[in-house]
Amino acid sequence: MEHLYLITLIVTINFVGMFFTIKNIRKKRQALNKLNTKLETKQKDLEQSNLALTKSIQELKATQNQLIQSEKMASLGELTAGIAHEIQNPLNFVNNFAELSKELLAEMLQELKNGDSQEANAIADNIIQNLEKINHHGKRADNIVKGMLQHSRTNTGSKDPTDINVLADEYLRLAYHGLRAKDKSFNADIKINFDESLGKINVVPEDIGRVLLNLFNNAFYAVQEKTKEEKSGFDPVVSVSTKKVGDNIEIHVSDNGNGIPQKILAKIFQPFFTTKPTGQGTGLGLSLSYDIVKAHRGELKVETEVGKGTTFIIELPIS
């Protein structure tokens, strides 16, 4: 009887134990199912977040490209007045020498009719000189147009042997005449000091041209603002110089404007930062310039003193 009771007790204990074990297993299974459901929900949320983030990045890149293109077109717009002025000069020469050559040809024909071949030959020499001048100024106009097209075209990233002195001189004149076209009262002393031994270096000319144009525009803007403040007794000066320094070339763009306050100096290469009034600057010029110079394995640096002026230094490797 005792054995039967003991067996019954053991069976009962085992049964109770099995009941609670099964119950615990069910609870754990239910908890696991809930956890899996939560994980699946979180995974779906994460996938949706990733899709939204990818879309946002794509939209941001598209916006960035639009802003870069807008900055390029804005700088091209600033060039337009300078281009119109610069191209008018060689066109005037071409027209004038063409008209003069026409008159000389009429004289030469008359002298030939008169039998004066010596005078006819002298007139022919003059016509040849005029044609050489027409060719020279025609090429000058052609270079200006090519520079404009080069500035506006889509960047291929192709580096070409480029005469930095010629490039700097071209954009300096265009920037100056562009500003003069908007403000006839503005004048500045332009100083040029080019190292003629530089030769050509491999750069993307349209990109370096954009950098130079931006720095020149900023320099002229700085001296123009100081001119407005001081009214008299201030002689605005913008200068550009080039030189070899070891394995690099340096381009210095200087102005004697108000300089850059120390508190904003660290921000000037940041995108969208500008001290110009609303509508007069995108705040992308120096940022893009910095990136362009970096892409050429170079450096863009600034030296400034409040009240005395600013110098931007472009360092580019020769090879």
Domain annotation for the chain: domains and CATH numbers: 41-154 (no CATH), 155-319 (3.30.565.10)
| Secondary structure (3-state) at 241 | strand
Report the pLDDT value the prediction gives residue 180, as an integer from 0 to 100.
Answer: 80
- Is the pTM for the entire model greater than 0.75? no
How far apart are alpha carbons 167 and 163 in whole angstroms? Answer: 6
Confidence class of residue 115 from pLDDT cuts 50, 70 and 90? confident
| Secondary structure (3-state) at 200 | strand
How far apart are alpha carbons 201 and 162 in whole angstroms? Answer: 5
pLDDT digits 0-9 by tens, 140-158: 777 767 666 655 555 556 8
Report the pLDDT value the prediction gives residue 253, as an integer from 0 to 100.
Answer: 97
How far apart are alpha carbons 169 and 176 in whole angstroms? Answer: 11
How far apart are alpha carbons 274 and 265 in whole angstroms? Answer: 11
Mean pLDDT over the full length of the chain: 79
Side chain identity at residue 247, one-letter code: D
pLDDT digits 0-9 by tens, 104-114: 888 888 878 88
pLDDT of 313 over the 90 cut:
yes
Mean local confidence (pLDDT), 161-169: 92
How far apart are alpha carbons 164 and 166 in whole angstroms? Answer: 5
pLDDT digits 0-9 by tens, 189-207: 999 999 999 889 999 888 8
Report the pLDDT value the prediction gives residue 233, as an integer from 0 to 100.
Answer: 79
> Which distant-in-sequence residues (6+ apart) come within 8 Å of 206 by Cβ?
150, 151, 153, 155
